[in-house]
Amino acid sequence: MSRTTLIHAGWILPMADEPLVLRDHVLVLKDAHIEAIVTAEQAQTIVADETLHLPQHVLMPGLVNLHGHSAMTLLRGLADDLALMDWLNNHIWPAEGKHVSDAFVHDGSVLAMAEMLLGGTTTINDMYFYHGAVARAGLKAGMRTFVGCSILEFPTNYAQNSAQYIEKSLAEAQEFTGEELVQFVWAPHAPYTVSDDTFRTVVDLADKHDWLIHCHIHETAFEVESSVSEHGKRPLARLDGLGVLNPRLIAAHMVHTNVEEVALAAERGISVAHNPASNMKLASGCAPIQAMLDAGVNVGLGTDGAASNNKLDMFADMRLGALIAKGFSQNPTDVKAYDVLKMATINGAKALHLGDKIGSLEAGKQADMIAVDLSAIATQPVFDPISHLVYAADRNQVSHVWVNGEAVVQNRVLTRLDQAEILANAEAWQRKIVAA
């Protein structure tokens, strides 16, 4: 039976092309979709099953985390203050070799999704192993989940070689055919861990199965220098020659890019997942985000994994993304508050080829949205809710979260997930990891 809910909000932020804030408007939610946004006066004539009054709240699209490794929440704080290759080779990969399993990935992903939903993130573009476990976690949490199927040339607990990673990914994807909230994505790890032949295969398979491609690219100066030494060209040029640079590609990081590479990214229509907190913590550098935006590159925002961030907090990454861009360029007008809000919402949706379904509040779109309470002392007075969302608010002010029209967080409480169970599982994994 169809159900209509009226949500009266102090401010509605539709995320139009230009900044627009609607005061004293009402969103009409019908089942999984947004039916309309009307004035409070117009809403008086609408018959509803439920009416929700949020007079001190901003109602806005749910946040899209464009790059993450959800299961790595179980490794949060295990290895800090290290450079990327030291962190990977000497700490993270050895720990994963001891512990990563279907159960590890499921429990770690549920923990991550609980954290993300409570912080207003409604979509995660993930990259890890045991893909069925990630998908099951997403369905359990009620979160829109893009399951990134990691591909490497070397063995892990999950597979022995690139052919086996691909074979297992296709097999696991079959189980979730038709699930509205789950999509599978090819995730060749990085240019330094994937061969030319494998990249060519991934491009062909992406076309065949209509999957996106998600890859770490130009994350560190070392990666770029190694590529020049080994292949005689920088990673982006190598990948372009292999056909990887196309509108299906989501390039995570893209820190060490020059003017020509920014222009190439725009020309090829790729999307970039900017990860400011992880980039800063691993000392990878500052991506030239304003230059990308100026060139017309679609830039979204990601947290990366909790082992390198160490929190899955899109509000923190929005603030940091705006601030470091200004500090990097010494231009306070770079990456404005609304720019970074677009990166966290509609740009992320476009990168996932869902710009016609989510990422903005418009009639006919699926209702992935959040309410942010600005009544706190730290967000008073409210001259400009756009400014507050980026520079003053934090994730703890998210009060309500809807995914596909379902309220998965109500008054800061998860409706689908058992918090006590999640915490007990996290503690149990901590004991196992410490014991090992």
Angle value at C-alpha 27, between 25 and 31, nearest 5 degrees: 170
Q: What is the C-alpha separation between 294 and 125, in angstroms, rounded?
A: 25
| CA–CA gap between residue 398 and residue 315 (Å, rounded) | 10
Helix boundaries (H) for 210-336: 221-231, 235-241, 259-268, 276-281, 289-295, 314-329
Residue 216 annotated in ligand binding: yes
The angle, 0 to 180 degrees and rounded to 10, between the axes of the packed helices 162-174 and 131-141 is: 30
Residue 219 among known ligand-binding residues:
yes
Residues 6+ apart with CB under 8 A from 411: 399, 400
Any residues with CB less than 8 A from the CB of 323 and at least 6 apart, and which?
A: none
Residue 406 corresponds to which tokens in the numbers above? 């379902």
Using the CB atoms, write b or e for 328-351: b if 16+ within 10 Å: bbeeeebbbbbbbbbbbbbbbbbb
Cβ contact 124:65 at 8 Å: yes
Encoded amino acid at 267, one letter: E
The DSSP secondary structure of 400-425, one letter per residue, reads EEEETTEEEEETTEESSS-HHHHHHH
CA–CA gap between residue 102 and residue 117 (Å, rounded): 22
Residue 42, classed as helix, strand or coil, is helix
* Interstrand relation of 50-61 and 4-12 (parallel, antiparallel or unpaired): parallel
Q: How do strand 413-414 and strand 406-410 relate by DSSP bridges?
A: antiparallel
Q: Is 189 flagged in the annotation as binding?
A: yes
Q: 362: annotated binding-site residue?
A: no
Q: What are phi and psi of 402, to 5 degrees?
A: -120, 135
Task: State how far Cα 273 lies from the chain centre.
Answer: 8
Token readout for 267 is 């020309």
69 is in an annotated binding site: yes
> Would you say 99 and 436 are in contact if contact means Cβ atoms under 8 Å apart?
yes
Residue 151 is encoded by which pair of tokens?
Answer: 């591909």
CA dihedral of 95, 101, 104, 108, whole degrees rounded to 10: 90
Question: What are the binding residues for Zn(2+)?
Answer: 67, 69, 216, 304
Binding residues for substrate: 96, 189, 219, 304
Q: Binding site: residue ranges? A: 67, 69, 96, 189, 216, 219, 304
